[in-house]
Amino acid sequence: MASAYPSALSKVFAVTAGLAPSTPRLDRLFGRITLETGLAVGGAFFVIGAGLLVFVFATWARMEFGDLQTGHKLRLAIPGATATAIGLQVMMSSFLLSRMGMARH
């Protein structure tokens, strides 16, 4: 996933700047994947991740911030933090791709 965004951003920038020709695949991609789609997918990842983090924090608070039982809680905290970061990245990349795609039309 981390290598897909720079590649997509580079391709869109090159086409927008006139450095590379547009491809039918890129045109189909812009037709199907919109800003709203990116925001919905990114938002879903963000909400799921934030929900996991809130759950871990609430569980820890119920234990009066004592021993965290790291083995069990880290199994939820790490995917929660990862999903939150991926969600933010997808949303920000969607804004950037959408803005660069506007220049194509």
What's the whole-model pTM score? 0.80
- Give residue-wise pLDDT tens across range 73-95: 889 999 999 999 999 999 998 88
Residue 97: Cβ within 10 Å count: 22
Alpha helices in the chain (DSSP H): 4-16, 24-32, 35-62, 70-102
Where do the structural domains in the chain lie, given as residue ranges?
4-102
Asked if 15 and 21 touch (Cβ cutoff 8 Å), the reply is yes
- Give residue-wise pLDDT tens across range 10-33: 877 788 778 888 888 877 877 788
